[in-house]
Amino acid sequence: MASQQQDQEQEAGHRSPVDARALDEVVAFTSELIRIDTTNRGGGDCRERPAAEYAAERLADAGLTPTLLERTPGRTNVVARIEGTDPGADALLVHGHLDVVPAEAADWSVHPFSGEVRDGVVWGRGAVDMKNMDAMILSVVRNWARAGVRPRRDIVIAFTADEEASAEDGSGFLADRHAPLFEGCTEGISESGAFTFHDGRGNQLYPIAAGERGTGWLKLTARGKAGHGSKVNRANAVSRLAAAIARIGEHRWPLRITPTVRASLVELAALYGLEPDPEAPGFDVDAFLEKLGPTAALVEATVRNSANPTMLQSGYKVNVIPGEAVAYVDGRFLPGGEEEFRHTLDLLTGPDVDWEFHHREVALQAPVHSSTYAKMRAAVEEFAPEGHVVPYCMSGGTDAKQFSRLGITGYGFSPLRTPEGFDYQALFHGVDECVPVDALHFGVRVLDRFLRTA
């Protein structure tokens, strides 16, 4: 399947070793994986096994020996290893999750599990998060099998369950119970990096993730005196909880610039002719971000910790004051910022509200001057010479958190080149999620180039 992107690359002198069948397969695999409904509603309500079996069959066709692993029936993970040519080299983990967030079909213009390919675009839940990357991995591995290619270092392929919830049935289970499968892995790549970011000024940026904020999902509980709704009540649990939630929602977190974000600010300053010094006393990050315009979206969520109230639960009748009220807060903390996060929540909740972690995972940071990062940059620049590669820190998190328990340093690298007006980040968990066919072709070429040289 020839594409405009392929023609442009050939005209520029790029001779990709990716064959036409691989380009066809990445589109077909993306579409077919989308059709397998792996909606994760949380609380264990998901079944990834059909998608895991689909991936395992295609790995087996490429001569690999995939292992299917479950902590809970139906919550299936797939792991396979490709042996490299250098037995002394560290192994590389390449992972993608199989589950997706829910989608309400009535809100979509195309059915979210149709996998429809129309007007050069693949539509459906998972098109960018992240069955597209799963398909790229399968396409590259199968292309290598046809061409007789072996990478320099061992590559461990992992398709995981449960990333969209707690990861207890997925990467957490694999890291805790099946560590030998990842022997030798020191680095890993997965979602949310090397995508096109159009800055509105004619520049195309390709942010590669070299960090993640930590996850601090909180449960707040206020207790008070139950009673009749018509009576004076100075120990109203709902009022106590509401006051704490208001303080949390209005809190202005202090500036905290990590090495990854600092590197991002420096490279963006060079691109736009600005002169930031994040180390200087009184550095005004908000003024600097304002000068970046739309590009500020890449860093503005990662210069501070955050806590956003998201759920409230209390009461059972309008004229009854309940004795307890509960709320949930989506908290995120930067590398090195967890102590500040905990202390601040103690202050904001006050003496009448208790809080605990509903779910907690570590913050991550990866070096931006490593040889692996340089090779990711080079792979993108080979096929997008007009682009500007910059490091960034993810505001959320991925399975890299769980794999970090094994000493694996994680990067976000799932390459896509998309046209201006295609809001990649807005499609994560959004309505009418889709991915251009040309973007998938670009991703396969870049991923192939990186993994061959890594």
Q: Are residues 225 and 147 in the same domain?
A: no
Mean pLDDT on 202-228: 97
Q: Are residues 46 and 192 in the same domain?
A: yes
Q: Which helix (H) or strand (E) covers residue 85, if one does?
A: none
Q: What is the percentage of the chain residues whose pLDDT exceeds 90?
A: 92
Residue 163 annotated among the catalytic residues of the structure = yes
pLDDT above 70 (res 85): yes
pLDDT of residue 368: 97
pLDDT of residue 97: 98
Helix locations, 19-147, DSSP H: 20-35, 49-61, 131-147
pLDDT of residue 10: 40
pLDDT above 60 (res 26): yes
pLDDT above 60 (res 227): yes
DSSP state of 253: P
Q: Are residues 164 and 179 in the same domain?
A: yes
Q: Are residues 77 and 109 in the same domain?
A: yes
Helix locations, 116-274, DSSP H: 131-147, 171-177, 237-250, 259-272
Give the mean pLDDT of the chain. Answer: 94
Q: Are residues 330 and 230 in the same domain?
A: yes
pLDDT above 50 (res 1): no
pLDDT of residue 101: 97
**CA-closest candidate to residue 321, choices 222, 391, 247:** 222
Annotated catalytic residue, options 99, 154, 162, 399: 99
Whichever domain contains 231, its CATH number is 3.30.70.360
> What whole-number distance in Å separates Cα of residue 192 and Cα of residue 253?
25
Mean pLDDT on 430-436: 96
Q: Are residues 273 and 397 in the same domain?
A: no
pLDDT of residue 381: 97
**Can you give the residue range of the structural domain that contains 277?**
214-361
pLDDT of residue 16: 58
Residue 187 annotated among the catalytic residues of the structure = no
> What whole-number distance in Å separates Cα of residue 48 and Cα of residue 285?
43
Q: Are residues 254 and 194 in the same domain?
A: no
pLDDT of residue 309: 98
Q: What is the percentage of the chain residues whose pLDDT exceeds 70?
A: 96
pLDDT above 90 (res 273): yes
Q: Which of 361, 380, 411 is the last residue of a domain?
A: 361
Q: Encode pLDDT of 167-210 as tens digits.
A: 999 999 999 999 999 999 999 999 999 999 999 999 999 999 99
Count of Cβ atoms closer than 10 Å to residue 119 Cβ: 9
Q: Which of 310, 340, 361 is the last residue of a domain?
A: 361
Whichever domain contains 197, its CATH number is 3.40.630.10
Mean pLDDT on 59-68: 98
Q: Are residues 244 and 143 in the same domain?
A: no
pLDDT above 80 (res 341): yes
Count of Cβ atoms closer than 10 Å to residue 31 Cβ: 19
Annotated catalytic residue, options 163, 164, 191, 267: 163
pLDDT of residue 276: 75
Q: Are residues 237 and 309 in the same domain?
A: yes
Q: Which of 338, 361, 384 is the last residue of a domain?
A: 361
**CA-closest candidate to residue 364, choices 234, 257, 260, 231:** 260
13 compared with 224, residue with greater pLDDT? 224
pLDDT of residue 14: 41
pLDDT above 90 (res 279): no
Helix locations, 251-284, DSSP H: 259-272
pLDDT above 50 (res 320): yes
pLDDT above 50 (res 13): no
> What whole-number distance in Å separates Cα of residue 10 and Cα of residue 16?
8
Q: Are residues 342 and 374 in the same domain?
A: no
pLDDT above 90 (res 239): yes
Q: Are residues 157 and 226 in the same domain?
A: no
> What whole-number distance in Å separates Cα of residue 74 and Cα of residue 46?
8
> What whole-number distance in Å separates Cα of residue 126 and Cα of residue 123?
9
Q: Are residues 351 and 275 in the same domain?
A: yes
pLDDT above 50 (res 244): yes
96 pLDDT band, cuts 50/70/90, is very high
DSSP characters over 412-427: E---B---TT--HHHH
* Contact (Cβ atoms closer than 8 angstroms) between residue 162 and residue 46: yes
pLDDT above 80 (res 375): yes
pLDDT above 70 (res 403): yes
12 pLDDT band, cuts 50/70/90, is very low
Give the total number of structural domains in the chain.
Answer: 2
